[in-house]
Structure 1
């Protein structure tokens, strides 16, 4: 007695079942699935709302609200036109929209940025770009200042004149030190009446302010004395100060 065993492929069976289902049956199955989902959700669907829900069967929105703002349709007439167009299976380029040859040459070569003529003309007419060589007749036609290291040093000494000569009082300068735009350096020539009383000898005469200050310091020694006083005041109360005191006290009695 022989027994025949028939093996059925489940995948092929499912494919046959799917082929046998008609579109109407699929539609009815989808509607039933939607009804089951609605019943299962219950109150949560009411609280959250059904805005934007799409029916699987019909493909339309379910329970859409009128309060939702409508999205405006895009204006397709203002679309960017392409440069290349096709006519009779031939591609053509719109020459009016191409870069001109003059602009291409400028892009390939090195060039300087030129100032607009309108702005240049306004500057010429208003005189903004013109620099005056002198300060004018009201200020004795002083020339423009030629900045040199010697001039900077002399101007700095002039600003510190109250420190150099403490017996005289000068007006305080609160602003920042600025080099004058117009200035001139000169030498005072003594008159013949000052030959014996006010003149100094050539040996005592100095070339600039710095040399005069150094010569006066050698005679008076004021800056050296003041510096020693400041250093002594700073060292007061420190270890070196007490060591010096101990050394004085430890001297042998005569």
Structure 2
């Protein structure tokens, strides 16, 4: 009989829960009507404690459910700088371009007497850049033109071909070598040879 009592009590509990749910639904419908008319409902229905346990079980189900992972979509980075920059394409970092950009960064070595604004960029190759050749107009034939023999493909080739830059590089290299050689065995032998020549 005890099992029958338990079954009846469970059935009674379920029926009471259903009755409470019906009351709440009718109260919600009445409150919606009241909100339209502006008067307050006569009685408020209390939520039984049993529903609180059902909410916690649904939380457990949510915690235990498997989340479906959406595939990673590639970041939508544009391939050009935009219409404000005339749709300049992304930089294709070739070894020649990297060498030219390094040369531009070290332009104060080529002309140490001229002031150049300091380059504080950390990135050597910019995200968007272009390089090209300047085409002279017909009026600049004699004064602002480089002969065809002197034209080179890259800035580095032009610098190496110019005699002024090469002379500066040679003098700078010889200065560095003399500084490195001072105090060594060869410089000591030269000094001793000059001392003995004087006698």
Q: For the superposition of Structure 1 and Structure 2, which TM-score range results when normalised by the shorter chain? A: 0.5 to 0.7
Question: Residue 162 of structure 2 aligns to a residue in which SS?
Answer: helix
Residue 144 (1) aligns with residue 90 (2): yes
Compute the TM-score of the two structures, normalised by the length of structure 1.
0.46
- What is the CA-CA distance between 1:219 and the residue it aligns to? 6.8
Runs of 4+ in 1 over 4 A off after TM superposition: 217-220
Aligned to 1:224: 170
Which digits, 9 at most, give the CA deviation of each residue in 1:212-238, with x for residues without a partner? 111124775111111111221232233
Gaps of 5+ in 1: 1-113
Gaps of 5+ in 2: 1-67
Higher relative contact order (CA 8 A, sep 6+): 2
Check the 8 A contact 2:160/2:166 in 1, yes or no.
no
Number of equivalenced pairs = 132
Aligned partners of 2:189, 2:82: CA distance in 1, in Å? 66
- What is the alpha-carbon root mean square deviation over aligned residues? 2.5
Which digits, 9 at most, give the CA deviation of each residue in 1:162-220, with x for residues without a partner? 11221211111234233211111211001111101111211111111111111124775
Residue 239 (1) aligns with residue 185 (2): yes
Which digits, 9 at most, give the CA deviation of each residue in 1:27-50, with x for residues without a partner? xxxxxxxxxxxxxxxxxxxxxxxx
Compute the TM-score of the two structures, normalised by the length of structure 2.
0.58
Aligned to 2:70: 116
Question: Residue 114 of structure 2 aligns to a residue in which SS?
Answer: coil
Structure (1 or 2) with the larger CA radius of gyration = 1
- What is the CA-CA distance between 1:133 and the residue it aligns to? 2.2
Matches within 5 A, 1:163-174: 163-174=109-120
When residues 228 and 173 of structure 1 are mapped into structure 2, their CA distance, relative to the original with a 3 A threshold, is same
Check the 8 A contact 1:142/1:183 in 2, yes or no.
yes
Residue 211 (1) aligns with residue 157 (2): yes
Check the 8 A contact 1:217/1:223 in 2, yes or no.
no
Check the 8 A contact 1:135/1:142 in 2, yes or no.
yes
Aligned to 1:183: 129
Aligned partners of 1:154, 1:115: CA distance in 2, in Å? 46
- What is the CA-CA distance between 1:147 and the residue it aligns to? 1.6
Which digits, 9 at most, give the CA deviation of each residue in 1:95-154, with x for residues without a partner? xxxxxxxxxxxxxxxxxxx8427xx6xx7xxxx822212111222321111121111111
Aligned to 1:157: 103
